[in-house]
Structure 1
């Protein structure tokens, strides 16, 4: 069994004249990442390894989320392959993961994550919102065989604020 957790970065700020990779989170993005992390932690799911896009907003989201779940950052890596907006690079990344890992968390971007959630999961999602988390489980023993899985969990900030 393999499980991938896709988390889109938090709401970013356009208030600064910086490159796309350097764009920071807004306060709302920070707060939402905390809220999603605390909610996820209640499920008791153990993540074997976590990866983030090098973009500031994704990296910051990953640090907030991972701290909230008490994750060991020795099992964390930044990878350029997750700075992807179509989903093709991320899917290739997933299929090349080490088979010793069973559950991985990936922090990145839309439209890649909405496309992947729909291509890999069994629930249609119109849009993975900022700080949105989608957990998909696959009945395979090798990452290279990941294709269609079962969407196990959606954690979207707007559902937590009701």
Structure 2
């Protein structure tokens, strides 16, 4: 069985005039990062690896989950290919994960993540909100074989406030 945790980056700030890739989190994003990551840590088995987009807002969000889930630095990485909004690169990364890994967390961007949870899950989600978490499970031994799995859990900031 393979378990995929998908997390959309928390709310980013538009206050400073920086390149999109370098946008940081706003205060709401920081608060939601703490809130959601702690709730997730109470409800799931930690992933064997976290892979995050290298965009500042995604990497900052991933750090909350790394800390809450007690993931060692060696089991966290960034991948520029996750700075993807269509989902094609994200799917390529998921399908090419090492089969030695049974659980992986991907931290990325919309519209890619909403598309992927609807393509791979069995429950329609209109929009994965900022700092939204979705857990999918697949009855497959190889990541390259996953198609439709089960949407096991969603944790969205609005449900925790």
| TM-score class, shorter | over 0.9
In 2, Cα distance between equivalents of 1:41 and 1:17: 34
Report the counterpart of residue 10 of structure 1 in structure 2. Answer: 10
Report the counterpart of residue 66 of structure 1 in structure 2. Answer: 66
User: How far has the Cα of 1:46 moved from its partner?
Assistant: 2.4
TM-score with structure 1 setting the length: 0.97
Deviations 1:32-69 (A, max 9, x none): 01111110111241210110001000000000121112
Report the counterpart of residue 102 of structure 2 in structure 1. Answer: 102
Report the counterpart of residue 77 of structure 2 in structure 1. Answer: 77
Report the counterpart of residue 40 of structure 1 in structure 2. Answer: 40
- Give 3-state SS (helix, strand or coil) of 1:35's partner: helix
5+ residue gaps, structure 1, are: none
User: How far has the Cα of 1:117 moved from its partner?
Assistant: 0.5
In 2, Cα distance between equivalents of 1:39 and 1:16: 30
In 2, Cα distance between equivalents of 1:15 and 1:114: 26
Report the counterpart of residue 150 of structure 2 in structure 1. Answer: 150
TM-score with structure 2 setting the length: 0.98
- Give 3-state SS (helix, strand or coil) of 1:124's partner: coil
In 2, Cα distance between equivalents of 1:139 and 1:78: 27
Report the counterpart of residue 123 of structure 1 in structure 2. Answer: 123
In 1, Cα distance between equivalents of 2:92 and 2:70: 28
Dislocated runs of 4+, deviation >3 Å: none
5+ residue gaps, structure 2, are: none
- Give 3-state SS (helix, strand or coil) of 1:104's partner: strand
In 1, Cα distance between equivalents of 2:142 and 2:70: 27
User: How far has the Cα of 1:158 moved from its partner?
Assistant: 0.1
